[in-house]
Structure 1
Amino acid sequence: MNTKLVKIDELHMDEAAIAEAGRVLAEGGLVAFPTETVYGLGANGLCAEAAAKIYAAKGRPSDNPLILHITSMEELYPLVSEIPPEAAALAEAFWPGPMTMVFKKTDLVPHGTTGGLDTVAVRMPEHPVARAIIRAAGVPIAAPSANTSGRPSPTKAAHVLEDMDGRIDMIVDGGEVGIGLESTIIDVSEGTATILRPGYITKAMLEQVIGPVAVDKASLGGLSPDVRPKAPGMKYRHYAPKAELTVFRGPVETACRAIEKALAEAEAAGLRAGVICTEESRDRYYAPVKKCAGSRENPETVAHNLYDVLRAFDEEQVDCIYSESFDGYALSGAIMNRLLKAAGQRVVQCGEEKEV
Structure 2
Amino acid sequence: MTIVWTVDAEKPRPEDLREAASLLAAGQLVAFPTETVYGLGANALSSAAIDRLYQAKGRPRANPLIVHVADLESAKTICSVWPDTAERLARAFWPGPLTLVLPHCGAIPSGVTAGGETVAIRVPGHPVALELLRLAGVPVAAPSANPSGGISPTLGEHVLEGLDGKIAGLVEAGPCSRGVESTVIDLSGTHPVLLRPGPLSPEEIAQVLGSDPEALLPSADKRKQGPEKSPGRMGRHYAPKAQVVCVQSEAEARACCAVWQQQGKRHAWLALQPGPGTILLPATPAEAMRSIYKVLHKIDKDLIGFLVVQLPNAEGRWLALRDRLLRASLND
Per the TM superposition, whether the score is higher than 0.5 is yes
The answer for the alignment partner of 2:56 in structure 1 is 57
Deviation digits for residues 132-162 of structure 1 (CA, Å, limit 9, x no counterpart) = 0000100011001101000011010010010
CA distance in 2, matches of 1:102, 1:261: 42
Query: How does 1:1-356 map onto structure 2 within 5 Å?
Result: 2-210=1-209, 211-212=211-212, 213-216=215-218, 228-249=227-248, 255-278=249-272, 280-281=273-274, 284-286=275-277, 290-295=278-283, 298-327=284-313, 329-344=315-330
CA distance in 2, matches of 1:12, 1:69: 20
Unaligned runs of 5+ in 2: none
CA distance in 1, matches of 2:262, 2:98: 46
Task: Please give the root-mean-square deviation of Cα atoms over the aligned residues, in Å.
Answer: 1.9
CA distance in 1, matches of 2:10, 2:32: 16
CA distance in 1, matches of 2:226, 2:263: 40
Deviation digits for residues 286-338 of structure 1 (CA, Å, limit 9, x no counterpart) = 4xxx432222xx22111111111112111122221111111155212111110
**1:101 aligned counterpart, secondary structure:** strand
Deviation digits for residues 86-130 of structure 1 (CA, Å, limit 9, x no counterpart) = 111111111111000001001211112111111100001110000
**Identical positions, percent:** 38
Amino acid at match of 1:269: Q
1:192/1:311 CA distance change after superposition, 3 Å = same
Amino acid at match of 1:149: S
**1:78 aligned counterpart, secondary structure:** helix
Decide whether the 8 Å contact of 1:98 with 1:200 is kept in 2: yes
**2:5 aligned counterpart, secondary structure:** strand
**1:106 aligned counterpart, secondary structure:** coil
TM-score, normalization: structure 2? 0.94
CA distance in 1, matches of 2:255, 2:9: 47
Q: How far off is 1:270 after superposition?
A: 1.5
Decide whether the 8 Å contact of 1:29 with 1:168 is kept in 2: yes
Unaligned runs of 5+ in 1: 250-254, 347-356
Decide whether the 8 Å contact of 1:260 with 1:285 is kept in 2: no
CA distance in 2, matches of 1:9, 1:99: 24
Amino acid at match of 1:259: A
